[in-house]
Structure 1
Amino acid sequence: MYPLKFENLYYEKIWGGRDLESFRSNLPEGNIGESWDIACHKNGTSIVANGEFKGIRLDELMNQKGSELIGTKISKDWFPLLIKLINAKDNLSVQVHPNDEYAKKVEGEMGKTEVWYVVESFEGGNLIVGTKEGCTKEQFKAAIEKGELDEHMNRIPVKKGDVYLVKSGLIHAIGEGVIIAEIQQNSDTTYRVYDYNRGRELHVKKALDVTDLSLQGTKREGIKIEREGYSKSYLCLGKDFSLELYDIKEICNENSDTERFYAFTCVEGHGEILYRDGTEIIKKGDSIFIPATLGKYTLKGNMKLLKSYVPDVEKVEKEILREIRY
């Protein structure tokens, strides 16, 4: 096995733009809102872009290679993650995602918890994370009916490098003027409650079913560990995914895990991944899949990488405690 790159799956959106051209040369025409970079969903499945398996769909490769590719603890019946880049030139709809129980019952797929990393924030770049303090379900419902929801939204300015966890049930929206790296559960279920009078379908009843106004979106500061040649920050950890930020100044030696795959998304700079049989270049905007059986590999260059995976939570907690306990 070797580090896998995939073709970018682009989706035009009414709120999209052309900002991905600042580090991508393959954008199709139109206002591109989303690039699905590691995906295995009915609405978009990645195709390998490099090496021996070039041209093979990710679901087909999972069937061929099984745990050798995704790990012994990851089910090949449902690929767990969806990794995207999002370019918002205008406000996305105010929306909410269901949890697993509701989504399986009503939509026939997984729920959606996601995490955002701000790759770029332009003038006025902002996000909506939750509602303002004191907003009740009655006020929330009335505001939806009157089209006055914005006054209850917790809209915040953001800068490059900010990280926010969006749990299922949290009202949220990506605002105008940002590029976001989004790591999420493998789901494409979104319930819109307000869409700035664009005429698209709203899903108010379902949204009210799943909204939890007690949830608050707070910026993730993480736990930073300094090492020679790089630093590593643990940003969030839960049953659905773990997210870590590697700031590579020189090199970092790593090992794959036979129980699970890893994904690296480059959010700044460039470098390379060296492994037993070769080298893969990685630059800003790239996502690379690390198979469970890759073995030893080295991250080399001057770059920032998001590492996402489905963790053994207890194992990672012990790893963090070893670093901070005295």
Structure 2
Amino acid sequence: MIGACQTGTSRYREWGAGMKAVALTEFGDADVLRVQELPDPVTGPDGVVIRVRAAGVNPVDYKIRAGYLKDAFPYHFPLIPGWDVAGEVVAVGPAVTRVAVGDAVMAYARKDHIQWGTYAELVRVREEAVAPKPASLTFSQAAGLPLAGLTALQSLSAVDTGSGDLVLVHAAAGGVGHLAVQIARALGAIRVIGTASLRNHDFIRSLGGEPVEYGPDLPERLAKVVGGDGRVDAVADYVGGQALEQSPAIVRSPRRHVSVVDPRSKEQGGRYVFVRPNGGQLKALGDLADDGRLQVEISREFPLEQAAEAHRLLEEGHVRGKVVLTVD
């Protein structure tokens, strides 16, 4: 039971009956993800319990599952992955003021301690991380927005992306990259160039970007596209590796390149960003979606029970946009 909080009645279950979740009890490959019955979350004073309608699947999820981040975050088993959620509020803590039972919401649900994620029927999120679900987006699209959208916004803001800028986005067809192309335009960039494979060039154009193929000769091909000194005002790296190594040479000022993949960008004079929950920024992204200025591309939807298949697909790479789990 929740205690002193406001609750609503779920349309499919009784409160306190226990929830279905996909969790792991050991690190490993995708097969360690299994459906389990686990206790309902407790709100706490400032918590919001969300009935999950959809949960975004992100590369960080399979890195956690595989144990790659076990030294970066405290954790406990059983561990439910997932940091993206869209759904309906079913309970709020007594100190909550901005959210009410019945609201359709979305959130970047990362916590400093990893255990109770979003691959579940219910998840608790701090009020500060929650934003209204945009009316123009489905629950699946809304679930694909928080982590990737905030990553794009916070990284572009870290390098002062603004009016008149020429911006390069590495991995522009991916989950973060396709949103970054659009957000950079919304921040005032006059041109946004995105690296992508040839099969995704039309997709980049549909987002308002100019595609260029990635590879070792990117600096030379970029110079032909932009003219002048062949460099850009700001660079956002969402893939690492070769892209990170190329960034300092193709940006006019080293401080205006940022990576969300590799903190070695700081050694190059650039910035490193690890996305933080921010309900206010997330609402601003939702407003962009409702204004028709931000679209969320969903590559594939899986039912919750097929979370392992979703992980396998994402680990293969080359996914356009977002992968999402749906919860009935």
TM-score tier by shorter-chain length is: under 0.3
Give TM-score, length-normalised by structure 2: 0.26
Give TM-score, length-normalised by structure 1: 0.26
